[in-house]
Amino acid sequence: MWIDLRSDTVTQPTDEMRQAMASAEVGDDVYGDDPTVNRLEEIAADLLGKESALFVPSGTFGNQLAIMTHTHSGDEILVGEDSHILMHEVGAAAKLSGVQTRSFPMDIATDKLKKMIRDDDIHVPRTGLICVENALSDGRVIPLSTMKTVYALAKKQSIPIHLDGARIFNAAVSLDIMASEIASCADSVNVCLSKGLCAPIGSVLVGTCDFIAKARKNRKLMGGGLRQAGILAAAGIIALNEMVTRLTDDHKNARYLADRLEEIESCRVYRDRLDINMVFFTLSESVISDSALISGLHEAGIKISGKEDGEYRFVTHCGVSAENIDTVIQAMKNIIANHS
């Protein structure tokens, strides 16, 4: 069995999920006939404190569907400069929704954001949407107070807020609050079932009944009208009902991993970004090169991603135990010792 630290997207469906999938009651969801999908959507809406929900194939799909549903072609949307929507969704907002993106620093300063909202002027686009992310994919969680301030600002200007809550449950566990409290600071939220929550496929987009009805039509337009999707939703139900509380273990293991990484010479952990299940750190090339570390760990049965912007990211999840972390640290020490 590999120890895989590349991402929490590598998590496998649990035995309980596989059984639920095999025996799921299904129907044609395009007709609204799939009872398992309907139940997943009810549970998601309830957990996030919204009126309605929609099952979608991926997080990217959910975010882009939200953008398409909130905006008109030619609008400008405000997004975080390192956000998933801007950096990792293939430029889809421009292509699918015809919107212009403009970025704000990830540490949202509300006065700066306020200035970025467009006036009613003949030269400028309309600000159609503000997108926020929580947890951030740099490992941090945005405090609830910031979310509330941004939401109040947007409401005052009648601009909707979409929250990319791919890891909203990690954020909630980290802040020790309900996910619905975070979701209450946005008009729509996308939540990934297939990361730390271990479902094989899927995200859920939540919002008002009116918004979700429009999104349902746009989902069809995007080719995402699924038929007997209850097979997938069955795993999603277990993800939401059973897999949220155990995220504390992943966060605890991330902190343990951070502590142990600091035993390694010149390893600098970004402690200020250690809010969820991700450990970001640097390791000097003079100690070990990127390629030597990747291949050495690979030989020891450990998968990691290479450096991005000079930083390593190790991610903990259901398939990474404290003992696995000890194995990783020992392997890293051995590789470094044999290399020099």
Residue from 70, 84, 162, 313 touching ligand PLP (CB under 6 A): that is: 84
Site membership for ligand PLP, residue 250 (CB under 6 A): no
- Of 10 and 292, CB closest to ligand PLP: 10
- Of 204 and 267, CB closest to ligand PLP: 204
Give me the 167-206 binding string for ligand PLP, x by CB under 6 A, dash otherwise: -------------------------x----------x---
- Tell me the CB-side half-sphere exposure of residue 68, using CA atoms within 13 A: 22
Pairing of strands 52-56, 268-269: unpaired
Question: What are the Cα distances from residue 337, in Å, to 45, 265, 298?
Answer: 52, 11, 16
- Of 90 and 152, CB closest to ligand PLP: 90
Q: Which two tokens stand for residue 131?
A: 């997108």
Is the Cβ–Cβ distance between 271 and 258 less than 8 Å? Answer: yes
Tokens 């009208």 correspond to 225
- Of 183 and 283, CB closest to ligand PLP: 183
Residue count, binding to ligand PLP (CB under 6 A): 11
Site membership for ligand PLP, residue 164 (CB under 6 A): yes
Q: How far is the CB of 40 from ligand PLP (least distance, A)?
A: 16
- Residue 117, φ and ψ in degrees, nearest 5: -75, 130
Site membership for ligand PLP, residue 59 (CB under 6 A): yes
- Of 58 and 218, CB closest to ligand PLP: 58
| Closest listed residue to residue 243, CA positions, set 301, 168, 318 | 318
The dihedral sign for the CA sequence 133, 135, 139, 145: positive
Is the Cβ–Cβ distance between 84 and 63 less than 8 Å? Answer: yes
The span from the CA of 262 to the CA of 271, in Å, is: 11
Question: What are the Cα distances from residue 295, in Å, to 80, 260, 308, 337?
Answer: 34, 21, 17, 15
Q: How far is the CB of 44 from ligand PLP (least distance, A)?
A: 15
Q: Which of the residues 86 through 145 are near ligand PLP (CB under 6 A)? A: 133, 137
Site membership for ligand PLP, residue 60 (CB under 6 A): yes
Q: How far is the CB of 250 from ligand PLP (least distance, A)?
A: 14
Residues in contact with ligand PLP by the rule CB under 6 A? 58-60, 63, 84, 133, 137, 164, 166, 192, 203
